[in-house]
Copies of this chain bind each other. A is one copy, B any other.
Amino acid sequence: MPQNRTPLMDAVQQVIKKNPISFHVPGHKHGQLFDGASLAFKQHLLQYDLTELNGLDDLHAPEAAIMESQQLLTKFYRTKASYYLVNGSTAGNLAMILATFREGDRVLVQRNCHKSVLNGLELVKANPVFIAPTYDETYGVPRGVNVRTVREVWKQYDDIKGIILTYPNYYGMIYELKDIIDFAHEQHVPVLVDEAHGPHFVLGSPFPKSALQLGGDIVVHSAHKMLPAMTMGSFLHINSDRVSKERIEHFLSILQTSSPSYPIMISLEWSRLYLEQYSLEDIEYTMNMVTTFTNEIKKMDGFDILLGDDPLKLLLRAEGYSGFELQAFLEDYGIYSELADPYHVLWIFPLLKKEHTYPLHRVIDVLARLPKKTMFKRRVNKFFIQQVTELAVPIHQQQLETGEWVPLKKAIGQIADGMIIPYPPGIPLLLRGERITEEIIVEIEQLLMEGCHFQGSINKQNGTIRIMKV
C-alpha cells in the first residue's frame, strides 16, 4: 500500500483540477464572493481559525463582538433575535423542535421535510402526524403543503401543538405558507419553518416572500446554501413571542460544539453584509445573466428548462437522459450540479454582484456536445404517499441492533426500522416506524436502478432494507 495516503484530499483536488463551474452549494462559489473587505480573510483563512481569545467573545455567551454581530443580523432580518449556527441548519432544526415541543406532543409535520426535522422529533419523543405534500405534475416533484389539508387534519385531532414546514422546497418552489401560518395562529400554535433555501428572500422582488415576513415563529436559514457563507454556517431567527427564547438558546448551546469555528462565524457576518449591500443593480445584473443563459439553452434542441419560484434555481432536462446521466455527463466537463433526480439536474445560481463574472458560456459549449438521443419518457410516478400518516410505532422506538435486513420485496407490509432517504435532496421516502407499502418498494427499486444515492437503512449492494422485528 502506498504511503502518505490522503484519499479525501485527493478526491477534492480531482474536482478542483477540473476548474469546475459550481451550480451547487455553498453559495460563495469557490470563494469568489469573498472579495472586497473579506479578501484578506479568504487569502489567510487559517490565520482566522482562532479560539475564544480575549476580545473574540464566545458564541455560547456572547457579550462583545459576536453579540454585536448577531444584533446586526437581527436588525437586518427584523426579527426578535437571530443567531449564528456553526453546525448547519441541522442544529437549528433540532434546537427549535426540542425547545418548542415536549415528549408525547402531537405535531403536524410536512412529510417531505429534511431528516433533521425527523431527528428532532425523535430526540423529543414527539408524536408526529405527517401530511403529504402536493405534487407538481410539471416538475415531477413534491411541492408544498395545502392549507385545505391542514384544516382537515385539524378536524381529526384536537391536540396539535404546532406545525413544522419546509419552505421553499429544494427546487425553490413555494406554496400558500401565509394561509397556513394564519390558520395556525388562529389555533394558537406556532409554525416552525425550515427555510434552508430562502435566506435571500429578504431581498424582495423577484424573490418570493420570506417565511419571516409571512409570520413564521421560528425560521432557520442555511446561509451556506444561497449566501456566501462557508459550509455549516446557518442562521436561526426567533420571530414571535409564541416560542421560548430561553429554551432555544439552551438547546442551541447543547447541540453546537463548544469550540465554534471563527471562519464559519465570520463568513456568516460577511453574508449579512453582502445582502445588506446587494443593490437593485446587482439583482438586475444577476437576473439578466440568468435570463440570457436560459434563453440560449431554450434555443438549443433537446433541452427543457424549468425555473423555480426562486429565479436562482433552475431545473434542466435533456431528451433521452435521466437526470443522473445528464449530471454525470456535465461533471466530465467540470460542471457540477446541485442534485440530480430521475428527471432533471438542479442548478443553483450565485447571488452575483455586477463586478463578478461567471463562465456560463462554457456551460453552453458543453451542452452543445451532449450526444442526441431518441426521446425516452420515463413514466411519471404519481406521488403515492397517503395524505396523512401516523407512524405504526413511536418515532423514538429504535431497534438498531435487533432490526432485520430483508430483501425489498419481503419488506412489504412490515415496519421500517430506519429512514430511507434519497440524497440529495435528503427527503425520506420511508420513515422509521412506518408501515411499508408496495408502492414505496417500487419507487425504491426504480431509484436504485437509476443510480440514486441513498442514506439510511438500505444496503445498495444486496438490495435489502431493515425492518423491525415485531
| Interface flag for A262 (CB, 8 Å) | yes
Partner pick for A15 among B28, B55, B327, CB 8 A cutoff: B55
Q: CA A54 – CA B324 in complex, angstroms?
A: 11
Contact A232 B257, beta carbon cutoff 8 Å: yes
| Interface flag for A224 (CB, 8 Å) | yes
Contact A65 B257, beta carbon cutoff 8 Å: no
Q: CA A90 – CA B94 in complex, angstroms?
A: 15
Contact B16 A47, beta carbon cutoff 8 Å: yes
Closest to A40 in B: B13
> Contacts A222-B259, A258-B426, A423-B61: A401 and B11 contacting too (C-beta < 8 A)?
no
Q: CA A244 – CA B34 in complex, angstroms?
A: 43
A-side interface residues, number (CB < 8 Å): 104
Contact B52 A424, beta carbon cutoff 8 Å: yes
Q: Which residues in window 250-284 of A have CB below 8 A to B?
A: 250, 253-266, 269-270, 273, 277
Binary flags per residue of A1-44, CB closer than 8 Å to B gives 1, else 0: 00011111111111110000000111010110010011011101
> Contacts A26-B51, A231-B260, A231-B261: A8 and B66 contacting too (C-beta < 8 A)?
yes
Contact B269 A6, beta carbon cutoff 8 Å: yes
Q: CA A56 – CA B18 in complex, angstroms?
A: 14
Partner pick for A257 among B31, B49, B90, B331, CB 8 A cutoff: B90
Contact A28 B46, beta carbon cutoff 8 Å: yes
Stretch in contact with the other chain, from A116-124, A137-145, A164-172 = A116-124
Give chain B residues whose Cβ lies under 8 Å from the Cβ of A114.
258
23 contacts between A and B (CB under 8 A): A4-B277, A8-B65, A8-B262, A9-B38, A11-B65, A12-B48, A15-B53, A24-B53, A30-B47, A42-B45, A45-B46, A46-B230, A49-B230, A54-B327, A54-B328, A89-B257, A89-B259, A94-B254, A230-B263, A231-B259, A247-B400, A250-B398, A261-B264
Chain A residues close to B by CB (< 8 Å): 4-16, 24-26, 28, 30-31, 34, 37-38, 40-42, 44-58, 60-61, 64-66, 68-69, 72, 86-91, 94, 114-116, 119, 122-123, 222, 224-225, 230-232, 244, 246-247, 250, 253-266, 269-270, 273, 277, 327-328, 331, 336, 338, 398, 400-401, 423-424, 426, 453-456
